[in-house]
Every structure is written in C-alpha cells, then in structure tokens.
Amino acid sequence: MERTRVNLLGIELDNPVIPASGTFGYGREFAGLYDIDILGTFSFKGTTLHPRLGNPLPRIAEAPSGMLNAVGLQNPGVDKVISEELPNLSKIFHKPVMANVSGFSIEEYAETCRRLDACAQVGWLEVNISCPNVHHGGMSFGTDPVQAAAVTKAVKAVTSKPIIMKLSPNVTDIVSIAKACADAGADGVSLINTLMGMRIDLRTRRPVIANVTGGLSGPAVFPVALRMVYQVARAVSVPVVGMGGVSSAEDVLEMMMAGATAVEVGAANLVDPFACKRIIEDLPGIMDKYGIETLDSLKTGGSTAG
C-alpha cells in the first residue's frame, strides 16, 4: 500500500515493519504460518564468521512486561548461511533481506560482512556491536566510540551494501556512539538492543540464567528505546531504525514520530508469531485514527517537534 511505504537507504519497503534479528530465525518457521512477503523486510539471525552453539542452558527467563535472554549468538556460521540458509530463504521471501552480523574482533566483523556482501538477496548489513550476552565481543565494541568507529570503518572498506550499525543502550551516552558510527561512514544506525538485567531464583538463591545476566526485551523497554531513538535521530543525519518493546501499530507510529525511518519488532514475535502480520494489517486503520495520510508525512512536519 502506497501510504505505508518507506525508503530505507535506497530500497523501498512496502511498510516499515521489520522482524528483529534473533526473533525470526531465517524465516522458515514463520513462513509456515503466513506469507512473510507482507513484511517490509526482516533481519535474520545474528551471524558470525564461525559456527556458535551459544550459551549454556537455561538462557531464557520471564520478567515483568518482558523477557530475559542470553542465547549467545547461536548460529551455523556465515558459510553455511550463504550456502544453505539464503538459498532456502529465496524460496519463501522475495524481497531484499537484512543480514545481521556479529563478531569477536574487528577482523571477524569485516570478513563476515565481506562474504555476505556478495549475496544478491542481502539488501543491508546490520552490524551488531551491541550484544550483551557474549564475552569478549559484541557489546564491548558498542560501548566505546573509538571501537564503534573502528568496526564501522572496517566493514565499510569491504562492502558495497548499506551498513546499519546496531547500538547498545547499555551506555551513558548513546548519542556519542551514534555520532562516532555516522562520522566513520555508517549509512544508518539501529537501536536499541536489549538492556542488561538479571533474575534470581529465591528457592535456589542463584541466577535463573546460566549466563547470570541476560538482555531484557519486551514492552518494559519501550519508553527507554523511544527516548534513545528520539535523541539519536536529532543528532545524526543518517536514517535510524527504531526498536525495543514494539508490539503494536501505535508503537510503530510513536517510533516514527520520534525519528525512525523503519521499525523492528523483536520479543513480540516470540510471544505471538503473528505479531508482525497483525501490526501491518492494523497500521492503515491506526493511521486513519490519528489523521496520518502517509508515513512519509511524519518526516515532513508530522513528527514530534525537537
């Protein structure tokens, strides 16, 4: 539908709704439930240079208005993603897909991005410098502007596709990280990843997650995410992809009014596998309710004043 279309770094999306990495796999499970071509796109499971089994169990726990996870980037490695997952994906999803990339060194980030850059179906590379659930990697690059810029420069040097740097909320000043990435050549930024949290089992007196801490996601983090998207969108000139606790069409519109060009939906997919389908179907009616003719109009004066 014309009124819900958005343009993300030169690629037109039918709508701004994007399932977030780690909540949609490589699309197969959801394609058995509905036609995933209705999505704007989706960010596939976080991919590393080498295969990873992830963290020990248990690694998921409930939390008030959300969930904790410490999956630890379980994935088959980039070569198998390219040789098996992407060919299978091309049979069920007929749009450019967003490739989510993680690493444990700048060289790993660059090499994984270089390999995925050659894949025709990959439209964007979302470079995750914000995962809180792995040691000696991920978030350690996203909490230091110098390191964030170094990863950005390294992946830009080996790729031709748009680079979106995924940022951590577990910092004092997310704006400084966003600016460092943009100044280093990032084409866009996405935020937020999960907030670090933990739960303790009162009976065992031990953390409920084997990793001790995990990433908090779900509706509980939405106000934090919205605030950070608002601040970053006003500080950088590159597009912002907003995420964090989004579970309704109203949330999508709030994110876009805060400055997001597109919106990722994460934990909601794990609670309701039809969440993104529902949000997309609800969006035109909610736009009507609030007098929004097109989503583009939110960029041209319909969004919240700075």
State the pTM of this model.
0.95
| Rounded CA separation 53/74 (Å) | 5
Residue 132: the pLDDT is: 60
Does 209 map to a domain? no
**What integer pLDDT is reported at residue 133 of this predicted model?**
52
Domain count, the chain: 1
Residue 16 lies in a domain: yes
Give the largest CA-CA distance in the chain.
Answer: 55
User: Is 75 a member of any domain?
Assistant: yes
Residue 238's domain comprises: 2-54+71-192+219-298
Which string of b and e fits 87-114 if b means at least 16 CB within 10 Å? eebeeebebbbbbbbbbbebebbbbbbb
Is the residue at 88 inside a domain? yes
pLDDT at residue 280, as a whole number: 98
pLDDT tens digits, one per residue of 155-179 = 999 999 999 999 999 999 999 999 9
What CATH number is given to the structural domain containing 173? 3.20.20.70
**57-89 pLDDT, tens digit each:** 999 999 999 999 999 999 999 999 999 999 999
Is 214 within the bounds of a domain?
A: no
Question: Given a cut of 80, is residue 306 above it in pLDDT?
Answer: no
What is the pLDDT at residue 304?
Answer: 53
**Regarding beta strands 188-191 and 240-242, do their DSSP bridges make them parallel or antiparallel, or are they unpaired?**
parallel
pLDDT (0 to 100) of residue 247: 98
Distance CA 106, CA 223 (A): 32
141 confidence band (pLDDT: 50, 70, 90): confident
Active site residues: 131
Range list of β-strands (E), the chain:
6-8, 11-13, 17-19, 60-63, 66-69, 97-101, 122-128, 163-166, 188-191, 195-197, 200-201, 206-207, 214-217, 240-242, 262-265
Domain membership flag for residue 140: yes
Q: What is the pLDDT of residue 285?
A: 98
